[in-house]
Structures are given as structure tokens and as C-alpha cells.
Amino acid sequence: MRILFTLVFFLIAMPLEAKEVKVKAINLEPVASEKVVLTIKTQENSIATYSHPQIEAIGLKQMVTTTFWPEDYGEFDGVLLRDLLGHAGIEKSSQIKVTALDGYTALIPREDWQKWDVLVATRHEKKMIPIRRKGPLRMIYPKDIGGKMAASDMRIRWIWAIKTIEPVF
Ligand SMILES: Nc1nc2c(c(=O)[nH]1)N[C@H]1C(S)=C(S)[C@@H](COP(=O)(O)O)O[C@H]1N2
Ligand SMILES: [Mo]
């Protein structure tokens, strides 16, 4: 009886807790745009600027997950936050401050990019993301893993319309 109970418990709990979110490299035709869409503060007096194709050149990855919003799920493409910060040389900062086009700001702790595959999405279903759909750049966490990643207090870190990133040491 006890064994049966345990088995039933695991069968119910498994799909909720042990889901996997796969991240794989993908190749897509670069978009023709040289417009700067992202500015990263790299040091006290220096910045790095990125166009859409420059971001994707860092290493385009595909991730499939749901989000916290209705009709907002599926394939997201972009670069791992870890790779982007590494490219700018600020991956060792203890936090980053992310500012969006609407003035929204949020802090993201280093643990997030070290421990999790957090994506800075440049595309949804392979297409550039318009501002009204939370683009052109937005954070996508691997929510379907479950646990902490699916906790609704994580939503404050799902910044959309990302404009600038700066290290907080
Ligand atoms: N650019 C931007 N991103 C943002 C926000 C915002 O106001 N602007 N709000 C954050 C917070 S606090 C939450 S809870 C969710 C809110 O998403 P919703 O307004 O679509 O429910 O997005 C996050 N990302
Ligand atoms: Mo929120």
C-alpha cells in the first residue's frame, strides 16, 4: 500500500516538478538592421552598444517555454544572459540593473545567469518582437523547469523592452 501510494505520488508530482527546458544552438538569417537596440555599461566611463544582429552573433540559442502571460509562449530565440554579460565583460558583477524603454528598472542577481539558462530574447517564433509584444529585447526565464523558476515573484525580473544593462558590484 505504501509503495503504491509513493508511486502514485511520484507520477503526479513528476510532470509538475521535473520538467526540462531545452536550450539549443540555432542558426537564423540575420535581420538587416544596424540600429542600436542595447547599451551595456562596461566600466565606469565606457559603454558597449549592440544592434540586433550584433547581439545574435554572440551565440543564438533557442528555448521553448511558457511565460506568465496568456497567448505568450512557444519558441524564443536570443542569447543567454550569461553569454551577453560575458561578451561585455561584466559577468562577474554581483547584480545587474536592467532599464527598459518605459523607464522600468529591475535588479537581477548573478545567481540567475550562473545557475539558470536565462535568455535575452531577440525573437519569438523566429521573428523580431515588436514593442507591443514586449520587444525588441526581453528576458525569458526557463519557467517550465518549475520550482523557483515558476514562482510568480520572479515576474519582476521578466523585463521587457530592455534598453540598458549596467553592472552593480
Ligand atoms: N519593461 C517593463 N517590464 C516589466 C514591467 C514593466 O512595467 N515594464 N513590469 C514587471 C513586473 S513588476 C511584472 S509583475 C510583470 C508584469 O507583467 P504584466 O503587467 O503584463 O502583468 O512584468 C515585469 N516586466
Ligand atoms: Mo509585478
DSSP state for residue 58 in the 8-state scheme: T
Contact 73, 65 (CB under 8 A): yes
Per-residue pLDDT for 8 more than 60? Answer: no
% of the chain surpassing 70 pLDDT: 89
Contact criterion met (CB below 8 Å) for 111 and 85: no
Substitution candidate for ligand 1 out of 118, 141, 156, 163 with most atoms within 8 A of CB? 156
pLDDT value for 19: 80
CA angle 80, 85, 86 (to 5 degrees): 95
**Position 12 pLDDT exceeds 90:** no
Q: Label residue 34 by pLDDT band (50, 70, 90).
A: very high
- pLDDT at position 10 over 70: no
C-beta 161 within 6 A of ligand 1:
yes
Task: Please report which helix (H) or strand (E) contains residue 134, including its range.
Answer: none
